[in-house]
Amino acid sequence: MDNDKMLNLVLNGYDVEMKGLSFIARSPLAEVSIGAMEGYAAHLDMLKCSRDSRQFVRSVTVAPGIVSAVSDSLALREVFFKAHLACCCELLDGWVLSMDLMKSEDLYRYVRKRIATEVEDDPERLFHYYQKLHSADAVRASQILKLVGVFELDSGEARQLSMGASGGNKDVESIHMVPRMACGDGVPGCAGPSVAFGVEVEQPRHVVLIDNDSRLQELYEELNTGNAGRLLAINDDALSAFDELEEKVLNGEIEQRNYVVGIRVDHRMIDDVRGFFSKLARIIQPQAEFFISVGSGNSLDEYEGRLRLMSELFDYLRGAGLEPLRFVLHRGRNLAENRDSPSFGHASIATHEIVHCRLEKNRLV
């Protein structure tokens, strides 16, 4: 992608996200949603203590195990609002905006101009903002699971396995980010109440990154050299990597995994769902979190393949007696419209669907 195309993608991507932010800031749910972000970890703890997560999930599903972003559920809308604010905390990390500007329909124009000016002054900022869009989408997807109440594993206890991990930034950092919005008055340059955006990154206990892209070989060698004891990067296909990990588990070199991740994966990575879970079961703990998402792909055929994978994963897990959730984050009357109309974010970067499940090892073998 040349710089002109990347800049256009960045500006259009931020336009979409900022229009969502200003919509939330003007909504009746603004106070409760923004308030939750001021002490986000405490807010998640409060949700755990104050509601039955299974009952909440049942209340927001449109069909057994299916959560749709087009649902008219007010409770689900609040979840998505907070997840979008979390996304914006990463997009605007270090920024301070006045509440008046956040509520304004001109917010996206202000942000667009600021980014364009930064990139003009320092062209290296372009890739920074491009990465931010990808990272922020992963933040939003992971926070949806936490806000719904189906994911409760602390990062510090995560023995993670990430497939299709590319450079690993989204897997090691983005999904472990804790968003924060600090509201106050008297910030220089802001008239009246303002909001400071930021994120903190919690460290997972150990991460295994898997990707078979040969261009990553040198990077993965560097990661293995510089992160011994905290990270293992394997430049191979998933099933071959599982064999290697099984041997390492048996030899006591690494612990069994309790968190399995695939962020906007290529559907061709899992061509045999039953065989995939059979091998995966050998390297996970008795229970493990499972979080797989897909995006738009590079063509309509690829998009169809990605949605087919989500159906196969969901159906297999239900057939195994587990309770997967499938989050449908697109809207449209047909496949092409769905691909062009994600519920959140820019179509080419957004998460379109998520399958989450708490795996039970003995049901997969």
Q: Residue 67 has what pLDDT?
A: 96
Q: Residue 33 has what pLDDT?
A: 95
pLDDT digits (tens, 9 = 90+) for 27-60: 999 999 999 999 999 999 999 898 888 899 999 9
Tally Cβ neighbours within 10 Å of residue 97.
26
Tell me the HSE value of 271 on the side-chain side, using a 13 A CA sphere.
Answer: 3
Residues in the chain: 365
Domain ranges for the chain, please list them: 3-363
Q: Given the structure tokens 């594993």, which residue do they identify?
A: 153
Residue 254 pLDDT class (50, 70, 90 cuts): very high
Q: Residue 193 has what pLDDT?
A: 87
Residues 258-286: what's their mean pLDDT? 96
Residue 192 pLDDT class (50, 70, 90 cuts): low
Q: Residue 190 has what pLDDT?
A: 57
pLDDT digits (tens, 9 = 90+) for 179-191: 999 988 755 555 5
- Residue of 250, 235, 232 whose CA lies nearest to 161: 232
Taking each helix axis from N to C end, the angle separating 30-38 and 40-50, rounded to the nearest 10 degrees, works out to: 110
Q: Residue 365 has what pLDDT?
A: 75
CATH architecture of 3-363: 3-Layer(aba) Sandwich (3.40)
CB < 8 Å & 24+ apart, contacts of 273-280: 273/309, 273/312, 273/313, 273/316, 274/316, 275/239, 276/238, 276/239, 277/316, 277/320, 277/364, 278/364, 278/365, 279/239, 279/242, 279/243, 279/246, 280/242, 280/359, 280/364
According to DSSP, residue 51 is labeled: S
Residue 228 pLDDT class (50, 70, 90 cuts): confident
Residues 266-295: what's their mean pLDDT? 96
